[in-house]
Amino acid sequence: MAHVIGLDIGSFSVKVVLLKERGGRLVLVDFAVADLGEEPIESLEPEQRNTITQNLIKQLLTTAGLKSKDVAISLSGDQVIVRYIKLPYMTKEELKGVIRFEAEQYIPFSMDQVVLDFCILGEVTEEGQKKIEVLLVAIKEEVVNQYIKLLRDIGLSISLIDIDSMSLHNALECNYDRIEGETVAIINMGARFTNLNIVEDGITRFSRDIPIGGINLTRDIAKEFNLGFAEAEKLKREQGSIIIESENVVLTRIPSKEDKRVRIYSSISTTMGKLVMEIRRAFDFYESSAKKKAITKAYICGGAAKLQNVEKFVAERLKIFVEPLNPFNKIEIENTEAFDLKVKQFSPVLPVAVGLAIRKIK
């Protein structure tokens, strides 16, 4: 069984990762990351978008020296429909037979237009009735076909399609020891979406792709400073930060050099506030549903989480511990200093691709 290349085609950047196994341990073979352009790729025509994406993927595979033709990809946001449902107890085989019928009421598309998959997460007893908890995933066939074509045209074949939240889950699982009885969150702040997972005893029981990400922050800055998108993006990366409450002192002295920093923060604070509020709402919803324990910790990742102080901000607002999700926490890296540096720089954007790369071709 060979490993597949984990290919994460985001709306802002593309990431490729290849792992191998040695002596029962996972080893990073190589990886590459690059932005699709200076502007959000959504603003382009589909044809143009495809060409840019294809060229970038080819270039990344060459850069990383990856020759395998098999890739695992993952979808998210409005491309997938994910539901966590409960059904009367039945075996996996039985469920296979009825899943299309059961799924119908949860999926807003005609059943013959979607590719459907499911996973039994666990069993519960509610009001004396034994039930199964099921993760239901539906992807429009049209979307799947678009990706098959996109990659086939550059000589790649898809051996696996996953969803971001499951890739993130796998990245967490293979890198951190599970603590019995602990409920944690994964927050992946991308460009268009922030993927949120709630993981209880090693099972993701809730996930949501919140439509707020780095693109929104850049747009806020562009508006405040009257800049184009690319310029605002640059300003965000170079001088953007969140001024957290415990650092309030900055706001009262306002040295002139800090002025810009304060203005940047003011421009993005509404969006950041909205994002943490959405996360809080998801936590509240989850914690108030039957028998759930409080979420105590969040692992954070994604390009937008590179903004200075994001971790502290999330920790302060949500009153939980926050730590970066290191996708190579337990994965061996053949050390050269340069490679180490590159790994450190890009780690925040790699969890999805690593989660995909962990999977094997059957």
Ligand X SMILES: Nc1ncnc2c1ncn2[C@@H]1O[C@H](COP(=O)(O)OP(=O)(O)OP(=O)(O)O)[C@@H](O)[C@H]1O
Please report, as ranges, the residues that interact with Mg ion according to CB under 5 A: 10, 190
* Minimum distance of Mg ion from residue 209's CB (angstroms): 10
CA distances from 228 to 153, 155, 167, 219, 223 (A): 33, 36, 34, 9, 9
Site membership for ligand X, residue 236 (CB under 6 A) = yes
Determine the Cα angle at 158 with ends 3 and 137, to 5°: 100
* Residue 198: closest CA among 209, 179, 183: 183
| Strand ranges in 38-113 using DSSP code E only, listed in sequence order | 70-75, 80-88
Closer to Mg ion at the Cβ: 10 or 348?
A: 10
Site membership for ligand X, residue 359 (CB under 6 A) = no
276-305 residues near ligand X, rule: CB under 6 A: 302-304
Could you say which of Mg ion, ligand X, none residue 215 binds, taking C-beta under 5 to 8 angstroms by partner kind? ligand X
Site membership for ligand X, residue 192 (CB under 6 A) = yes
Closer to Mg ion at the Cβ: 107 or 354?
A: 354
Site membership for ligand X, residue 233 (CB under 6 A) = yes
Number of helices (H), then strands (E), in the chain: 11, 14
* Minimum distance of ligand X from residue 81's CB (angstroms): 17
Site membership for ligand X, residue 355 (CB under 6 A) = no
* Count of beta carbons in the 10 Å neighbourhood of residue 284: 11
Could you say which of ligand X, Mg ion, none residue 13 binds, taking C-beta under 5 to 8 angstroms by partner kind? ligand X
Asked whether 273 and 216 are in contact (CB, 8 A), the reply is no
Nearest position to Mg ion, beta carbon: 190
For ligand X, which residue of 13, 170, 204, 267 counts as binding (CB under 6 A)?
Answer: 13
* Residue 312: closest CA among 325, 327, 328, 324: 324
* Minimum distance of ligand X from residue 262's CB (angstroms): 17
- CA 328 – CA 334 distance, rounded (Å): 12
Residues at the contact surface with ligand X, assessed by CB under 6 A: 10-13, 190-193, 213-215, 218, 233, 236-237, 240, 302-304, 306-307, 349
